[in-house]
Amino acid sequence: MARSLHVEQIQGYGVQDFEVEIVERKGKGHPDSLIDGASESVSLGLSKFYLENFGAILHHNVDKGILVGGEANAKFGGGRVVQPIYLLVAGRATAVVPFKGREVRVPVEKIAKKSIEAFLSETMRFLDPKKHVRIETMIKQGSPDLVSVFMRKKEMPISNDTSIGVGYAPLSPTEMLVLSIERLLNSRDFKKKYPEVGEDVKVMGLRRKERLDVTVAAAMVCGKVPDADHYAGVVSDVKEEIERLASEVDLRVSIKLNAGDDPRRGAYYLTVTGTSAEQGDDGNTGRGNRVNGLISPMRQYSMEATAGKNPINHTGKLFNALAIVAAERIAKEVPGVSESYVRILSRIGYPIDQPQIASAALVLERGRTLSSVRGDVESILDESLRAIKDVTTLILKKRVQLF
């Protein structure tokens, strides 16, 4: 069956030509990122159990989550969490499986809680999931008729929703710097050098023509900061590290780090565990970064939450990941394309490789025509959809960024 492919040219400027560009990145310890990660960890945990016990990933969607901030007393030299963070993941999952002539019960709640605890332990150095977090799940049994659908390995999965996936490439210099700053501050080597810096890092970039103002909020771990002078020294050193990274960008960059501090009032961004979630900052699955790890309001993107959706036939997850991969291929492999946007719309009940439309919108270099690139772009869209099952493998191996 022929696929519904579409290619058009964006008549106008690319994002780098805008006078104003705004880009945000919420770091891995931000409350929204933590609840995204918790939801995704449950999906990965269930997928692993299903594969090991039944040879196939069964129906589940655990993409509804909320993190309610706790209460902490952070001060120089130490502190404590007074009220734990509350974390709830909800959704549907196959809990009873007719398999080899018997009904097998899946310990969904146990898998979910262990997966969340493991994720939090891997992500946060100073947050103890058993001590600092109250974890609950509300995961109900999915529809029994969906079990057999998921066991059909050789067939193309059927879309379980009508949903949109959007991806774009390449990243602009502003987007690349915003992403790189957070990755630098949360890298393993950086944490060894600056153990005072927590995982809750938020980066906001505002470009006005050739000037880029970057505001960074980095939670400091109070147990590693004995006094205000040490705090000021760390902030100064970290700012210099960011400025060195920013010097590689062909823009006039200004950095503000922990701009909310007010030493005269004794106000500093101190945390016990390295995240603002310990003291009243909340999070929701799908509220944070988009599938490429950024929030870029000047771009086209989908509002779908990718974390926690099953990686087999939930197009809200698959199509967002696929759209990024396809957009990157188009921007890299097709000469004359300066920006590529891929939009894919599924229809519930239809095979995942047969969307209602797979559309590419292109910003072309001066002198290039749509007719000169259309064939190559359509080929990439078609190849990407034919290989859509590969996206599932990439997700299971954590080789696709989802938030």
What does the pLDDT read at residue 194? Answer: 98
Q: What is the CA radius of gyration of the chain?
A: 23
- Give the type of residue at 383: E
What does the pLDDT read at residue 152? Answer: 60
Residue 12 lies inside a defined structural domain of this protein: no
Order across the sheet with 85-93: list the strands.
133-141, 85-93, 60-68, 283-284
Residue 305 lies inside a defined structural domain of this protein: no
Residue 214 lies inside a defined structural domain of this protein: yes
- Give the type of residue at 4: S
Residue 291 lies inside a defined structural domain of this protein: no
DSSP 249-289: SSSEEEEEESTT-BGGGTB--EESSSSGGGGT--EETTSS-
Q: Residue 358 corresponds to which tokens in the numbers above?
A: 């797979």
Residue 190 lies inside a defined structural domain of this protein: yes
Determine contact, residues 233/225, Cβ cutoff 8 Å. no
DSSP 367-392: T--HHHHHHHHHHHHHHHHHTTHHHH
Helix (H) or strand (E) holding 196: none
- Give the type of residue at 182: E
Give tens-digit pLDDT for 317-357: 999 999 999 999 999 999 999 999 999 999 999 999 999 99
Residue 206 lies inside a defined structural domain of this protein: yes
What does the pLDDT read at residue 99? Answer: 82
What does the pLDDT read at residue 144? Answer: 58
Q: Is the peptide bond before 170 cis (omega within 30 degrees of 0)?
A: yes
Sign of the CA dihedral 76, 267, 84, 220? negative
**Domain count across the chain:** 1
What does the pLDDT read at residue 396? Answer: 95
CATH code at position 227: 3.30.300.340
- Which residues form the domain of 265? 21-26+172-283
Alpha-carbon gap, residue 346 to 332, rounded angstroms: 26
Residue ranges in the chain modelled with pLDDT below 70:
143-154
CB count within 10 Å of CB 133 equals: 24
Alpha-carbon gap, residue 128 to 136, rounded angstroms: 16
Residue 188 lies inside a defined structural domain of this protein: yes
Helix (H) or strand (E) holding 119: helix 108-123
CA–chain centroid gap for 398, Å, is 11
Determine contact, residues 167/325, Cβ cutoff 8 Å. yes
Alpha-carbon gap, residue 198 to 126, rounded angstroms: 8
Residue 75 lies inside a defined structural domain of this protein: no
Give tens-digit pLDDT for 112-169: 999 999 999 999 999 999 999 999 999 998 765 555 556 566 689 999 999 999 999 9
0.85 exceeded by pTM: yes
Q: Residue 400 corresponds to which tokens in the numbers above?
A: 């696709």
CA–chain centroid gap for 311, Å, is 15
With pLDDT > 90 as the criterion, what percentage of the chain qualifies? 91
What does the pLDDT read at residue 11? Answer: 87
